[in-house]
Structure 1
Amino acid sequence: MAVQPPPADRRTVIEHVAIATVDADDTEYARGHLVLLGNRIESVGDGPAPRWLDNVVRRIDGEGHLATPGLVNTHHHFYQWITRGLAQNDILFDWLVALYPAWARIDDSLVHAAALGSAAALLKSGCTTACDHHYVFPRGGGDVLGASIEAVRELGLRFTALRGSMDRGRTDGGLPPDHTVERTEDILISSEAAVDTWHDPSFGSMLQVALAPCSPFSVSTELLRQSAELARRKGVRLHTHGSETTEEVAFCRQRFGMGPTDYFESTGWLGEDVWMAHCVHMDDADIARFAGTGTGVAHCPSSNARLAAGIARVPDMLRAGVPVGLGVDGTASNESGELGTELRNALLINRLHGRPDALTVRQALRLGTMGGARLLGRDHEIGSIEAGKLADLALWRIDGIMHSSIADPVAALVLGALPPLTALFVNGDTVVEHGNLTTADEDRIALACARAAKELASRG
């Protein structure tokens, strides 16, 4: 059942809690309070909550906890939940070749199960807003985009559905098998219909849509250009994979006579309404171009490591002013499916070049909150704990055996094991309580996912 926001006059009070607001000043409270009014944050501050509050329906003693904004996931492929653990030792291109045949057999029922699994893993790891880049639309597969949207709605996750696409198959010099791609004109018609059907641009929206052709090696130049024109005409954002591997860079140079950044610029794909996943292989000029145009980056540290793609230059991007958020990426290349653990992995991986100050724990938290909110164009609504913003919050328990000896609460979250969630609020409603989903039966989801994985495998 879809989660409904609490009545606008009902308050939830959290007291005696450490708070990392991730506001512009990085304000923190060692022992503060939060007041949620309906689906908004009414107040945040030091010490106890005001005593005069009425209509308080719930009080939470936050002793031993850290409150942060809900995490924001800026890149994912939900359908991959049912193809995890395959092609374990392949680089990206070989991994895609191995998995495309299975993905070409998905349908809306399998995607629904996979999306439930993916969304559940995100919620249980502190994620309150996510996007799903779905670009495989098999003929006869039904409404796979709608299946993902329905699954997310059931669990109560704030969502951006990325209507992906591929129109360049192997016959046209692309990587995907021909039977996994669509015609350019069909993609544009379906993309516009997805925006018209699903996109809600209003403040507090639980569902938005962006357009997301898959990658330079799976889409035509014409599709990139026309998708950018369509998105700007409809007022939605743009997303794709970019500069993920050395093989992609070589493909662009051979096919288009230029590197990925120049190619994207030539098709209208740099700008404040654009963010790209990975961006591992970018030189100083690429980074400067992204910074100058406001083009964003979804950093996916675990997936980049799993596929041996390399280490994105996130510290250099941040210094240059590039907007950067965090992404899980598909769970066939990041089997945990958790966003919370990406905070730690982002910090550790970006220090591997021998720079111990490459990222701090607070920078890592900002990547996973305000950084992601900015990429999705929603930093005025989510990403920080401030009065008037949406009540998307994570309440992490940090007084247990795994964290009690870490004096800095933010370090406990980022450097320690992922803490258990006492509560996760989305739009003011509790969707995780004491580590468990409140909106669905986890055992039922696990069983549905196992069955879907076996069903997909049997279609080979």
Structure 2
Amino acid sequence: MITVIEHAAISTVDADGTEFRDGHVVIDGEHIVAVGEGTAEVAAGRRVDAGGCLLTPGLVNTHHHLYQWATRGLAADSTLFQWLVELYPIWGRLDARITHAAASAGLARLALTGCTTVADHHYVFPAEGGDQVAALVAATHRIGVRSHIVRGSMDRGASDGGLPPDNLVEDTEAALLGTEHAIDAHHDGAPNARVRIAAGPCSPFSVSERLMTGAAELARRKGVRLHTHLAETLDEETRCLAEFGCTPAEYADKLEWLADDVWLAHTVHLAPAAIRRLGATRTGSAHCPTSNGRLGTGIAPVRDLLDAGSPVGLGVDGAASNESGGLAEELHQSLMQARQRGGPTALTVRQALWMGTMGGARCLGRERELGSLEPGKLADLAIWDLSGLRYAGIEDPVAALVLGAVPPLKLLLVSGETVVADGELKTADESTLASELAAASRRLR
């Protein structure tokens, strides 16, 4: 099926930063086949008049915990470690039905804020919790987006010096076998994959060295990517220095976890040498500004990471530390935090959009298929309606998107298929999702 989108302001986010004031995109099936100025010379197909709108690539969320949509609003005034200690026992009661309801609601919220690809780090596997990964895969197909499901793991309970309770951690070998099973059952390496799997031990304070090295060996043998939390808080740094005699970044480097097949969540507390090392190894960073602000963990050195050559994407993080759960607002928050840290020129509106699209695609290893509007790439795109009062008089549409309120979506496409139209989710009923989530939250609590 041919789809022609016309009369839009277009920010392609390609390598040259190409933009059109009144342009078109032509889609044939799953792929973009033409992008340009003016009206498309195509006679047949569905035509979408996007006058008054901005057309961008679909946004890419590089870090999330979708199961946490069932525990929003708890531990509202806690530090990260306090928050985790309070919520671990609740998460220990997760089952596949709760996870599916939470993930479906979280993915719907992401789609309604322009997100087409989601990296979800799921590291809680209660003994009686059923098939957690399958629940996430089913939610992905239900909402119609793409997912990079990070099969997480924890094997250091409180009795071994870790933070989580013992009943919430796995045996090391069981965690590695569970990760391998998830890869074998669900990973799709095709360019148009809707579901991919990555390996993701949770964090240095909940994972043994054996699990970190074993996960890296497994991922590289299977050809999948690696993800973990790193350098999120000063508490984590203090703990690593006391236990390992080095910073979290130095610990990751020692275990061969700084490489171009790795992206790390948060990376807030990095020494200049660590920033240079992430850049030299092309290790990615998932910047989660709202979550970092919610938990008071600090402001990540985004400008320095970008200058060093590290791919930086944006992440929403778990709903328990970001109750809004929308991705488009992270464009705004990333710019605000970068300028708070580095001054008014630390990040431009287009650099914020780049992080939310191409930067995220690079973190996930999908820059050849996603992240920009170019012929041959997958037709994952967002059409933002800038015609209302909130944007009247703003000449630069990218500035309107990044600096203003999150615009409603005229259209969100994934592989050319409609997920959102005129601000409404088309793949599932929102009231049903809300009812399922409310019931899941009551059961969990």
TM bucket by the smaller chain? over 0.9
Using the alignment, how far apart are the partners of 1:59 and 1:293 within structure 2? 44
Q: How far is the alpha carbon of 1:268 from its aligned partner?
A: 1.5
Aligned to 2:134: 146
* CA distance in structure 1 between the aligned counterparts of 2:205 and 2:383, rounded to whole angstroms: 41
Amino acid in the other structure paired with 2:32: I
Letter in 1 for 2:143: L
Q: Does 1:416 align with 2:379?
A: no
Partner of 1:6: none
CA displacement 1:366-395 (0-9 Å, x = unmatched): 000000000000000000000000000000
- Give, as a single letter, the amino acid of the residue that structure 1 aligns with 2:141: R
Say if 2:20 and 2:36, in contact at 8 Å, map to a contact too.
yes
User: Can you give the 5+ residue segments of structure 1 that lack an aligned partner in the other structure?
Assistant: 1-9
Flag the 1:354–1:206 CA change in 2: closer, same or farther, 3 A.
closer
- In the alignment, is residue 396 of structure 1 matched against residue 387 of structure 2? no
Match of 2:82 in 1: 94
Give the residue type in structure 1 aligned to 2:64: H
Partner of 2:172: 184
Partner of 1:7: none
Aligned-pair CA distance for 1:267: 1.1
Where does 1:83-162 land on structure 2 (aligned, <5 Å)? 83-162=71-150
* TM norm structure 1: 0.96
Superimposed CA distance per residue, residues 229-285 of structure 1 (whole angstroms, 9 cap, x where no aligned partner)? 000000000000000000000111111111111100111111000000000000100
Letter of the aligned partner of 2:88 in structure 1? Y
Q: Which of 30, 54, 66 in structure 2 is aligned with 1:66?
A: 54
1:354: Cα distance to partner?
Answer: 5.5
User: Which residue type is aligned with residue 233 of structure 1?
Assistant: R
**Is residue 49 of structure 1 aligned with residue 40 of structure 2?**
yes
Deviations 1:416-453 (A, max 9, x none): 00000000000110100011111100000000001111
Identity across the alignment (%): 56
The residue type equivalent to 1:139 in the other structure is A
Matches within 5 A, 1:145-294: 145-294=133-282
Task: Give me the CA root mean square deviation.
Answer: 0.7
Q: Equivalents in 2 of 1:282, 1:254: separation in Å?
A: 17
Quick one: distance in 2 between partners of 1:207 and 1:145?
A: 11
The one-letter code matched in structure 2 to 1:43 is: A
Where structure 2 has 5 or more consecutive residues not aligned to the other structure, the ranges are none
What code does the residue aligned with 2:3 have? T
Match of 2:417 in 1: 429
Counterpart of 2:6 (choices 4, 15, 19) is 15
Mapped to 2, the partners of 1:215 and 1:195 lie a distance apart of 20
- Secondary structure of the residue aligned to 1:385 is coil
Q: How far apart are residue 353 of structure 1 and its match? A: 2.8
Aligned counterpart for 1:28 among listed residues 14, 19, 23:
19
For 1:206 and 1:61, how far apart are their aligned partners in 2?
Answer: 28
Native 8 Å contact 2:25 2:40 kept in 1: yes
Deviations 1:155-194 (A, max 9, x none): 1011111100000000000000000000001011111111
Q: Secondary structure at the match of 1:67?
A: strand
* Structure 2 partner of 1:3: none
Q: For residues 128 and 404 of structure 1, what CA distance do their matches in structure 2 show? A: 27
Aligned partner of residue 350 in structure 1, secondary structure: helix
Amino acid at match of 1:103: W
Please state whether the residue corresponding to 1:338 is helix, strand or coil.
coil
Aligned match of 1:4: none
1:277 alignment partner AA: A
Instruction: Determine if the alignment matches structure 1 residue 320 to structure 2 residue 320.
Output: no
Shift of the alpha carbon at 1:348? 0.6
Matched AA of 1:269: W
Q: CA offsets, 1:29-82, max 9 Å, x none? A: 00000101001001000010014x43x1x1111110000000000000000001
Q: Which residue of 1 aligns with 2:326?
A: 338
Cα displacement (A) at 1:145: 1.2
Give the whole-Å Cα distance in 2 for the aligned partners of 1:150 and 1:369. 24
Q: Once superposed, which parts of structure 1, at least 4 consecutive aligned residues long, lie more than 2 Å away?
A: none
CA distance in 2, matches of 1:212, 1:226: 11
Q: Would you say 1:38 and 2:29 are equivalent positions?
A: yes
Structure 2: how far apart are the matches of 1:106 and 1:25? 46
- Decide whether the 8 Å contact of 2:299 with 2:341 is kept in 1: no
| Paired residues of 2:70 and 2:441 also in contact (CA < 8 A) | yes
Paired residues, what number? 445
